[in-house]
Structure 1
Amino acid sequence: MSKDGLFFDPNQVKMVVESLSNEKDLAPELIFVAMERALASVLAKDFSEQARIQVNIDRDTGVYHCQRVWTLVEDASEELLDQPEQYLSVDQAQEKGLEGAVLGETVAESLTIEPGRIFAHQSGQMMIKFVREAERAKLAEQFKSRVGELMTGQVKRVTRDHIIIDLGDHIEASLPRKELLPREIFRVGDRARGYLYAVDPENKGPLLMLSRTHANFLVELFKLEVPEIQEGVLEIKSVARDPGVRAKIAVKTKDARVDAVGACVGMRGGRVQAISSELNGERVDIILWDESPAKMVISAMSPAEVLSIVVDEPAHAMDVVVLEANLSQAIGRGGQNVRLASQLVGWDLNVMSESQQREQSGGSDVNALCQQLDVDAALAEILIREGFSNIEHLAKADAQVLAGISEFDIDLATEILDRAQSAMIAEAIAVSTLSETAVPDESLMALPNMPKLMAHRLAASGIISAEDLAEMSVDEVRDIEGMTDHLAADLIMAARAPWFSEDED
Structure 2
Amino acid sequence: MASAISANKAELLAIADAVAREKLIDRAIVIEAMEEAIQRAARARYGAENDIRAKIDPKTGDMRLWRVVEVVDQVDDFFKQVSVVDAQKLQNGAAVGDFIVDPLPPIEFGRIAAQAAKQVIFQKVRDAERERQYAEFKDRIGEIITGIVKRIEFGHVVVDLGRAEGALRRDQQIPRETFRVGDRVRSLIMNVRRENRGPQILLSRSHPNFMKKLFAQEVPEIYDGIIEIKACSRDPGSRAKIAVVSQDNTIDPVGACVGMKGSRVQAVVQEVQGEKIDIIPWSEDLATFVVNSLQPAQVSRVVIDEDDSRIEAVVPDDQLSLAIGRRGQNVRLASQLTGSAIDILTEADASERRQKEFVAHSELFQHDLDVDETLAQLLVAEGFGSLEEVAYVDQAEISAIEGIDEELASELQNRAREALEQREAEAREERRKLGVEDALADLPYMTEAMLLTLGKAGIKTLDDLGDLSTDELVHKKRQDQRRRHSSDNNEEDGILAEYGLSQEQGNEIIMAARAHWFDDAEDETHSSEDTETRSEKA
Q: TM-score, normalised by structure 1?
A: 0.61
For 1:61 and 1:390, the matched residues in 2 are separated by: 101
For the structure 1 residues 278 and 110, does the alpha-carbon distance in structure 2 shift closer, same or farther, using more than 3 Å as the test?
Answer: same
Q: Which residue of 1 aligns with 2:31?
A: 32
Check conservation: 1:174, 1:205, Cα contact below 8 A: no
Q: Which residue of 2 aligns with 1:435?
A: none
2:116 maps to amino acid: Q
For 1:319 and 1:49, the matched residues in 2 are separated by: 78
For the structure 1 residues 62 and 250, does the alpha-carbon distance in structure 2 shift closer, same or farther, using more than 3 Å as the test?
Answer: same
Q: Which of residues 375, 385, 399 in structure 1 aligns to 2:367?
A: 375
For the structure 1 residues 116 and 294, does the alpha-carbon distance in structure 2 shift closer, same or farther, using more than 3 Å as the test?
Answer: same
Q: How many residues align?
A: 378
For the structure 1 residues 375 and 272, does the alpha-carbon distance in structure 2 shift closer, same or farther, using more than 3 Å as the test?
Answer: same
Check conservation: 1:240, 1:249, Cα contact below 8 A: yes
For the structure 1 residues 130 and 19, does the alpha-carbon distance in structure 2 shift closer, same or farther, using more than 3 Å as the test?
Answer: same
Q: Which has the higher contact order (CA 8 A, sep 6+)?
A: 1
Map 1:392-403; keep pairs closer than 5 Å.
none
Q: CA deviation at 1:38?
A: 4.5
Q: Which of residues 269, 286, 301 in structure 1 aligns to 2:262?
A: 269
Q: CA deviation at 1:342?
A: 1.2
Map 1:67-78; keep pairs closer than 5 Å.
none
Give the secondary-structure state (helix, strand or coil) at the position aligned to 1:219.
helix
For 2:229 and 2:17, the matched residues in 1 are separated by: 49
Q: CA deviation at 1:18?
A: 2.5
Determine whether 1:122 maps to 2:116: yes
For 2:324 and 2:49, the matched residues in 1 are separated by: 64
2:26 maps to amino acid: A
Determine whether 1:20 maps to 2:13: no
Determine whether 1:305 maps to 2:304: no
Give the unaligned 5+ runs of structure 1.
1-5, 72-89, 395-419, 431-505
1:148 maps to amino acid: G
Check conservation: 1:316, 1:347, Cα contact below 8 A: yes
For the structure 1 residues 361 and 62, does the alpha-carbon distance in structure 2 shift closer, same or farther, using more than 3 Å as the test?
Answer: farther
Give the secondary-structure state (helix, strand or coil) at the position aligned to 2:81.
coil
Give the secondary-structure state (helix, strand or coil) at the position aligned to 1:118.
helix
Q: Deviations over 1:442-465 (max 9, x none)?
A: xxxxxxxxxxxxxxxxxxxxxxxx
Q: Which residue of 2 aligns with 1:460?
A: none
For 2:281 and 2:304, the matched residues in 1 are separated by: 20
Q: Which of residues 136, 146, 150 in structure 1 aligns to 2:130?
A: 136
For 1:45 and 1:363, the matched residues in 2 are separated by: 92
Check conservation: 1:98, 1:107, Cα contact below 8 A: no
For 2:109 and 2:235, the matched residues in 1 are separated by: 62
For 1:224 and 1:8, the matched residues in 2 are separated by: 51
Q: CA deviation at 1:345?
A: 0.9
Q: Which residue of 2 aligns with 1:179?
A: 172
Q: Which residue of 2 aligns with 1:278?
A: 271
Q: TM-score, normalised by structure 2?
A: 0.58
Give the secondary-structure state (helix, strand or coil) at the position aligned to 2:367.
coil
Check conservation: 1:34, 1:131, Cα contact below 8 A: yes
Check conservation: 2:69, 2:82, Cα contact below 8 A: no
For the structure 1 residues 311 and 51, does the alpha-carbon distance in structure 2 shift closer, same or farther, using more than 3 Å as the test?
Answer: farther
For 1:91 and 1:363, the matched residues in 2 are separated by: 102
Give the secondary-structure state (helix, strand or coil) at the position aligned to 1:306.
coil
Map 1:310-329; keep pairs closer than 5 Å.
310-329=303-322
Q: CA deviation at 1:221?
A: 1.2
Q: CA deviation at 1:350?
A: 2.5
Q: Which residue of 1 aligns with 2:219?
A: 226
Q: Which of residues 404, 409, 412 in structure 2 aligns to 1:425?
A: 404
> Percent of pairs identical after alignment?
38
Q: CA deviation at 1:204?
A: 4.5
Q: Which residue of 1 aligns with 2:429?
A: none
Check conservation: 1:151, 1:193, Cα contact below 8 A: yes
Determine whether 1:349 maps to 2:342: yes
For the structure 1 residues 92 and 334, does the alpha-carbon distance in structure 2 shift closer, same or farther, using more than 3 Å as the test?
Answer: farther
For the structure 1 residues 232 and 96, does the alpha-carbon distance in structure 2 shift closer, same or farther, using more than 3 Å as the test?
Answer: closer
Determine whether 1:145 maps to 2:139: yes
